[in-house]
Amino acid sequence: MFLSHLPKLSKLSVFSCRNITQFAMGVDLQQATTPIVSSSTSSDVTMDDTQAKVEQQEIAEVDDDGLLLLPAHLSNSLQALDIKSRRLVVVVHPLNALQALTTLRLEDCSFHHPFPSSLLDLHLRSVKGVLTLSNLTSLTRLNISGCGEDLRCEGLLPLLTRGQLSSLEVRESPNFFGRWDYNPMRGMTESKLQNLETDDMEGFLGAPALCSLLSSSLADLCFNWDRETARFTKEQEEAFQRLTSLHELRFWSCKKLEHLPAGLNKLTNLKMLAIWDCPALRSLPKDGRSLQGLSVIGCGNKELTQQCRQLIGTIPKIIL
């Protein structure tokens, strides 16, 4: 059995293997099999569909039901696991036995279990299921995309208030921020989240309590690929002004955005404003005294370019 001969395997990537439809931790097969090759010291293995076909006889961990069983000895060595299907949904069974796992990437998978508490870096794309995150107190980076309108992210609040989460990216999951409740967040003032990237301006700014929670930590905010927002409501602008620690603000490919939020001049820590591919944008902040850098690229708007030129000498670094 192929994986049984890799006692020190630290990274496993499984890409588009059509014969694998389920994934789970198995029993320790090392003692039960006769070696067909000498043990390998390889620490990094990538399985794709071609390899799976050629080695289907040797990789006996894949049974007739398409279940790939990881040998139990990997529970102490495997640090990074990457599963991408892209053809059909792979059912991933509990992974709690992977005690050394720090990085997990799942794409086109079904997962309905708690994640290993050892995780530092978690990437989820097109994953079906309820995401229980409250036990991930060591997690520093969370990336969620393509999980649809039904995504429920249970337990994220403890990660923001008592955990180590410093980077969060949310895309193509339109109800993610809509589930925030103000009352449980009352009195919670500390967070370690420094970087946030999302395509849902309306959802994020529609959660003012969340903006208040992040007011002392959030340094880098990026809105990218938002296809709906044209302008901000008064309530959204007020929520924006709560982000007093913001150092860098970016708008990338927000096609309908016509105006930036009012009151950016009140964010005295804001040093960099970057705008890319926002063709509908008509104006820049009139007062950018705190800004050290301004970047406006790919907007195709002569009026906007002229406004930038007028700020030369006021803002130290301008990129057009």
List domains and CATH numbers for the chain.
130-318 (3.80.10)
- Give SS3 for 68: strand
- Give SS3 for 24: strand
| Residue 154: per-residue pLDDT | 63
pLDDT under 50 in the chain at which residues? Answer: 28-41, 50-60, 184
| Residue 18: per-residue pLDDT | 78
Q: Compute the distance between CA of residue 134 and CA of residue 136 in angstroms, rounded to an integer.
A: 6
- Give SS3 for 277: coil
The two three-digit tokens of residue 242, written as one number = 């709560």
Nearest to 144 by CA among 115, 117, 118: 115
| DSSP conformation class of 243 | -
* pLDDT tens column, 225-245: 999 999 999 999 999 999 999
pTM for the model: 0.85
Long-range own/partner contacts, residues 158-161 (CB < 8 A, 24 or more apart): 158/134, 159/133, 159/134, 160/191, 160/192, 160/193, 160/213, 160/214, 161/188, 161/190, 161/191, 161/213
| Residue 10: per-residue pLDDT | 93
| Residue 7: per-residue pLDDT | 76
| Residue 72: per-residue pLDDT | 85
| Residue 235: per-residue pLDDT | 94
Q: Compute the distance between CA of residue 174 and CA of residue 194 in angstroms, rounded to an integer.
A: 22
Residue 213: enclosing H or E segment and its boundaries? helix 208-213
| Residue 147: per-residue pLDDT | 82
| Residue 43: per-residue pLDDT | 64
Q: Compute the distance between CA of residue 68 and CA of residue 12 in angstroms, rounded to an integer.
A: 12
| DSSP conformation class of 151 | -
Count of CB atoms situated within 10 Å of the CB of 141: 17
Count of CB atoms situated within 10 Å of the CB of 55: 13
| Residue 150: per-residue pLDDT | 64
Question: Between β-strands 195-198 and 103-110, what pairing exists: parallel, antiparallel or unpaired?
Answer: unpaired
Q: Which residues contact 31 (CB under 8 A, 6 or more apart)?
A: none
